[in-house]
Amino acid sequence: DIGGDGSGGRRGDDDGGVGDGVGTLSALPPHAGLLMVLDVPQERGMARLDHRYLDGLQVCRFPLLPLLQPLPLDWMYLLYAVMALGTWLALLGADRYGSIDGLFRPQKRNAHVPLWNYTLLRAQIFIVYFIAGLKKLDADWVGGYSMGSLARHWLFSPFRLVLSEELTSRLVVHGGGLALDLSAGFLLFFDATRPLGLVLVTYFHCMNSQLFSIGMFSYTMLASSGLFCDPSWPRRLFSRCPRWMQGVLPTTAPPQHSPDCHYGGRGAARRPALRQQLAAAFTLLYVLEQLFLPYSHFITQVGVFTQTRRWKDHADMLKQYSMCLSQILPQYNVSQPQIYFDIWVSINDRFQQRLVDPRVDLVRAEWSPWHPTPWVLPLLLELSPWREKLQELESGLDGHTDVVFIADFPGLHLENFVSEDLGNTSVRVLQGQVLLELVEQQRNHSLQQGDSMQLPAGQYHKVHTVSARPSCFMYTYVNTTAVALERNLSRLQELRDRLHNGTETEPLPPE
């Protein structure tokens, strides 16, 4: 609870007080509270409670603890009403300056705020930026693969006027995002660099609000930027308002001393009280915990596929979903169900690969947060250098040919069906050895690295990986239906132009 003015890099008053350290904290709750009020009906789903918590509807949910289940619909309405009321109350102040409490408790009406309050909030925002920057120091982000297509967004059009799309992705999206996250906390903390920091983070979060569906996060971070400013800025702002408005605004008088703050002094008065020492210890432990949590995955063995919020990318949620289905399916005459997942993902322009072992029944599979999950397959990092080669192969195709790059583990097979709409479909082995099984023809073909084979349309086939290391292969195909549609549209446009110019002399075709 050591007193200070709460601003980065500055000391407090001569007597060690916190100066105007009440204004910023009083301004943050109205901003954050307003965002939370908007968040409850939108992101939290209050406007769709009748669809999300319909009484009697059996659905699988993903609570942190299986015992946590939704209340009946009427009680959920009450719970959300309490949430909304709580966020509205947050609009009324921070228990000090400009708060409802201050009307009934004069000692808090316009009093100093302990510096550890600012330390916690500023440290929390600083950690959000800095840890995000540290997480971006991996090879995928530095190499420009994590957000490969983001540079095509219209927000980056000004940069593409002077840079190519590839350079915009590498320098602006990846390089700029890394530099901003690593430096934003420092820029906001120091007085000399704070104006530049405020401009950069405001631009950054405004862009993120348009680029990603991340709810209120961007707006919450914008509202919290004022925490790094001089704590007296709301007081100075109110003092510039017209006199008739100042009667309803919080006071602009200097703040009074607070019994919760330690102002220093001589002798015994210089030593902080026990609760102030405990507050300092709590602040230190909290900051250390927040620094540790982003790197705590080694405790809860969640695997490597955790870059999205989809349930299929998390082993614990897959297990939870399987157990939920195993309890529901017997009601549909499915006794002792066995549930298998065959999930394919591609991380940052790598090969498509399996996420979990498709041979494992997840109803009976073991899972624990304290040891690795054996049925989660590893990310094939050794194939990362292939990404440039894959881009070259894809860029060498004509506009009508599509390609899919696959990597599979030894002992597994991919079963696929070639639609009749896909003409000229072939498979080519890039690494390893596979056994291609044509199911209807009951024929097998062994393919080595560099071999390719045409696949019959309208039939199933299986690609077995028989090599000791993972196999890599690619499908190339032409969507004949799309090509025919494009050709017919071109003919229709030409016919329309001739009719418009009066140069069409032939009778119109019936189609």
Helix %, strand %, coil % for the chain, to 5? 45, 10, 40
Cα–Cα distance, 312 to 318 (Å, whole number): 6
Is 50's pLDDT higher than 80? no
The domains located in the chain, with CATH, are 114-230+265-296 (no CATH), 311-379 (no CATH), 396-483 (2.60.120.10)
Flag the least confident range among 75-84, 403-412, 425-434: 75-84
Selection from 28-37, 182-191, 502-511 with the highest mean pLDDT: 182-191
108 is catalytic: no
pLDDT in tens, 90-140: 554 455 655 666 666 666 667 777 888 888 889 999 999 999 999 999 888
CB-based contact 408:471 (threshold 8 Å): yes
Model confidence at 4, in pLDDT bands (50, 70, 90)? very low
Residues 6+ apart with CB under 8 A from 436: 427, 444, 445, 446, 447, 453, 461, 462, 463, 464
Nearest CA-CA partner of 439 in 468, 421, 464:
464
- Residue-level pLDDT at 114: 80
- Residue-level pLDDT at 107: 65
CB-based contact 435:451 (threshold 8 Å): no
Cα–Cα distance, 181 to 175 (Å, whole number): 10
- Residue-level pLDDT at 501: 78
Cα–Cα distance, 7 to 138 (Å, whole number): 33
- Residue-level pLDDT at 93: 44
How many C-alpha atoms does 185 have within 13 Å on its Cβ side?
A: 18
Model confidence at 461, in pLDDT bands (50, 70, 90)? very high
Catalytic residue among 136, 312, 319, 389: 136
Type of residue numbered 85: L
Is 463's pLDDT higher than 90? yes
Angle at 398 between CA 395 and CA 404, to 5 degrees: 60
CB-based contact 444:435 (threshold 8 Å): yes
Q: Mean pLDDT throughout 442-465?
A: 94
Measure the N-to-C terminal CA separation of the chain; round to a whole number of Å: 82
User: DSSP class of residue 468?
Assistant: S
- Residue-level pLDDT at 255: 77
Cα–Cα distance, 311 to 319 (Å, whole number): 10
Q: Mean pLDDT throughout 413-426?
A: 88
Cα–Cα distance, 406 to 346 (Å, whole number): 9
Is 267's pLDDT higher than 60? no
Average pLDDT over the chain reads 81
Cα–Cα distance, 375 to 494 (Å, whole number): 57
Residues 6+ apart with CB under 8 A from 286: 120, 123
Q: Mean pLDDT throughout 262-289?
A: 80
Cα–Cα distance, 220 to 32 (Å, whole number): 6
Is 325's pLDDT higher than 80? yes
pLDDT in tens, 379-415: 999 999 999 899 889 888 877 788 999 999 999 999 9
The rounded percent of the chain whose pLDDT value lies above 90 is 38
The residues that bridge with 403 in the sheet, in sequence order, are 476
- Residue-level pLDDT at 30: 59
Cα–Cα distance, 314 to 304 (Å, whole number): 9
Angle, helices 115-135 vs 23-39, to 10°: value is 50
Counts for the chain of helices (H) and strands (E), in that order:
18, 10
Written as six digits, the tokens of 428 are 């080519």
Neighbours of 189 (CB within 10 A): 17
CB-based contact 406:430 (threshold 8 Å): no
Residues 6+ apart with CB under 8 A from 394: 403
Cα–Cα distance, 324 to 451 (Å, whole number): 44
